[in-house]
Structure 1
Amino acid sequence: MNSKTKHIIGYTVTAVAAIGIGSAAASGGSGNTVTGATPAVTQTVAGDEGTPAATVTVTPPAETVTPPAETVTVTATPTAAGGGSANAGATIPGDGTYEVGVDVQPGRYTSTTPDSGNCYWARLKSADGFDGIIANNNSSGQSVVVIKASDKFFESSGCNDWTAR
């Protein structure tokens, strides 16, 4: 084989290797695991006078690309042992309607004697007026309420702040 034939074969092998490496790099950002081989490439080069033709087959190595695992963050809400409130010391403002599990957490809450003279509270299964009331109370003294996880809303009016116990 003369130097011209060797030169052409060398370029063919280099080009095929570059294609294999390039395809491995390009598949890295797909978000999936990719396993497989790039197809083999065969090149036949005619020889000079007196030199036979040469055939070169290049098979790139199999590729395996695995993306990093997805990070998952989980936030847990603790529960207290012995029936106490896991959010002891948490407060709810005295006036407003609050979504249970979002704005307020289930638990036992107390409100001191209201400055307004009357404290109204209600545990609600929906915001549909009287039909949504599970339990309610009016008080001129200290109030205690147990908000359950099954409640949808808690409403308070004229009360001092509620403190989890």
Structure 2
Amino acid sequence: MNKKHIVGYGVTAVACLGIGLAGNGGAPATTTPSAETVTVNSTAAAPTPAEATVTVTAPGATETHTVTETAEAETVSETVTETVTADPPAPEASIPGDGTFEVGVDVEPGTYVSEASGSCYWARLSGSDGFDSIIDNNFGSGQMIVTINESDRFFETSGCEPWSLRE
């Protein structure tokens, strides 16, 4: 239950008690309405306890009843979580060797050179599966040169030395 409500309920009960005591001193009620003054002061400043004071004064009364009630302050904490997404890494300007690399993600378009090797196979691909996706390919030995276009989807290499982007 909210602590502010506990203070409010306690203040209301004390006010009613005070009104009953100050109203007519326990004598039977009369048919003449009486105007009573009820003053409620409430303060709450975190982290100190909340405090409520009730003063009840009945017209013509010789006594004033004041009740002060204190309740623990309510602690509110809020956690804010922010997700930051890093930009994906830039495509490499070199190709390490064997593998299939996505153009524009893993490798940037351009002309690449692989130094002399035993047997080297490379292929420019329009897709990632089957012979139908081969745009161009070569198998050979020695230095290899290939130009990967922006329109190529993948570049596959096997048995080659690392590829370097020709500047």
Question: What TM-score results when the alignment is normalised by the length of structure 2?
Answer: 0.48
Q: Which has the higher contact order (CA 8 A, sep 6+)?
A: 1
Higher Cα Rg: structure 1 or 2? 2
Question: What TM-score results when the alignment is normalised by the length of structure 1?
Answer: 0.48
